[in-house]
């Protein structure tokens, strides 16, 4: 029986409750289920899923790179798994953008990482948003870049590239060039409604342009890691998924724009339901679709004034 991670955890808790104990059980395994899912994707690259944004990793004898850090406890669990691949320190820790579910684990990983790298806007937004909250101690990038960062490390070449404002004002794509795996952070919410951060420098209108540039810059063989997906399996994918996200955002903008032109109010537009052709998207939290319509309305109207 092959269980998904969630089913495995559910089964484990049932077992722990004493409802069902088969004779041939491996107790060590059942009562200590892995906290998250550590999975190899291609070559020395993989992902870690537990909570928050997908962590990307590269682990070899001569280089260890981590992309995004979730939260302190899940970052610790990720590092324990990473250690099984390579005993080496983390050479580079990248943040794709400043949101707490991608950067809160920096505080744990900083003692094991030589460098924390992000786009300069990502660092500034992290400082602005979380810098005054003593209950959430932060570790900030100690190296930033404006357009692109490239470094040869071990047998890999890793680059980080900024394509313009989209999900936030400081998103970048981290590319393991030789393995051809690219982490796009929250530039793609795969088959699910995206979070739109207007206060964090994001731009719905520019977001499809950024995805267009990404689709031209990387190749059809690039394996993409997404910050979030409608399911665990959808946290990775191909160029098809980049284009699907671009198509949704373009349709969202056109739909809201047409509503504004015919004099519809924000409330009417927000209550209009699915964007035509995109009924299959999942709401990861209640009200996500409405929020997409409202934020798009706000941005388009603000531009007119
Ligand atoms: Zn985000």
- Residue 277 CA to ligand 1 center (angstroms) comes to 25
pLDDT, one tens digit per residue, over 123-143 is 999 999 999 998 889 999 999
Distance between CA atoms of residues 174 and 67, nearest Å? 7
pLDDT, one tens digit per residue, over 161-174 is 999 999 999 999 99
- Residue 102 CA to ligand 1 center (angstroms) comes to 7
**DSSP line for 16-57:** HTTS---TT--HHHHHS--SSEEEEEETTEEEEESSSSPEEE
For the domain that residue 71 is a member of, what is the CATH number?
3.60.15.10
- Residue 20 CA to ligand 1 center (angstroms) comes to 40
Q: At 211, which helix (H) or strand (E)?
A: helix 207-217
- Residue 122 CA to ligand 1 center (angstroms) comes to 11
- Residue 280 CA to ligand 1 center (angstroms) comes to 21
Q: What is the pTM of this model?
A: 0.89
- Residue 97 CA to ligand 1 center (angstroms) comes to 7
pLDDT at residue 189 above 70? yes
228 phi, psi to nearest 5 deg: -145, 150
- Residue 148 CA to ligand 1 center (angstroms) comes to 20
**Structural domain includes residue 90:** yes
Quick one: pLDDT band at residue 10, thresholds 50, 70, 90? very low
- Residue 89 CA to ligand 1 center (angstroms) comes to 27
**Structural domain includes residue 2:** no
Supply the range of the domain harboring residue 76: 37-239
- Residue 195 CA to ligand 1 center (angstroms) comes to 7
Q: How many domains does the chain have?
A: 1
Lowest mean pLDDT among 29-38, 160-169, 179-188, 280-289: 29-38
pLDDT, one tens digit per residue, over 76-100 is 999 999 999 999 999 999 999 999 9
**Structural domain includes residue 303:** no
Tell me the average pLDDT across 241-245: 98
Lowest mean pLDDT among 9-18, 236-245, 294-303: 9-18
**Structural domain includes residue 98:** yes
**Structural domain includes residue 245:** no
**Structural domain includes residue 207:** yes
């Amino acid at each position: 029986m092959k269980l998904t991670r969630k089913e495995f955890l559910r089964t484990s808790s049932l077992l722990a409750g004493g409802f069902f104990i088969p004779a041939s059980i491996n107790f060590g395994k059942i009562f200590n289920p892995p906290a998250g899912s550590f999975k190899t994707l291609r070559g020395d690259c993989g992902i870690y899923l537990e909570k928050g944004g997908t962590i990307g990793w590269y682990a070899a004898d001569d280089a260890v790179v981590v992309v995004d850090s979730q939260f302190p406890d899940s970052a610790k669990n990720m590092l324990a798994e990473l250690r099984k691949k390579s005993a080496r320190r983390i050479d580079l820790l990248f943040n794709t953008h400043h949101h707490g579910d991608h950067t809160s684990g920096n505080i744990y990983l900083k003692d094991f990482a030589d460098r924390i790298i992000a786009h300069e806007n990502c660092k500034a937004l992290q400082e602005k948003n979380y810098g005054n909250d003593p209950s959430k101690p932060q570790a900030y990038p100690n190296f930033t870049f404006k357009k692109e960062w490239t470094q040869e490390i071990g047998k890999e070449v890793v680059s980080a590239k900024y394509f313009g404002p989209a999900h936030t004002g400081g998103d970048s794509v981290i590319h393991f060039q030789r393995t051809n795996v690219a982490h796009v952070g929250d530039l793609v919410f795969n088959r699910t409604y995206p979070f739109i951060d207007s206060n964090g420098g994001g731009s719905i209108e520019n977001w499809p342009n950024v995805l267009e540039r990404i689709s031209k810059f990387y190749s059809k063989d690039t394996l993409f890691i997404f910050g979030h997906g409608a399911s665990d399996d959808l946290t990775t994918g191909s160029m098809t998924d980049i284009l699907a996200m671009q198509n949704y955002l373009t349709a969202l903008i056109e739909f809201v724009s047409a509503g504004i032109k015919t004099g519809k109010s924000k409330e009417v537009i927000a209550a209009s339901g699915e964007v035509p052709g995109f009924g299959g998207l999942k709401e990861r939290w209640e009200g996500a679709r409405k929020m997409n319509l409202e934020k798009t309305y706000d941005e388009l109207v603000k531009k007119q004034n």
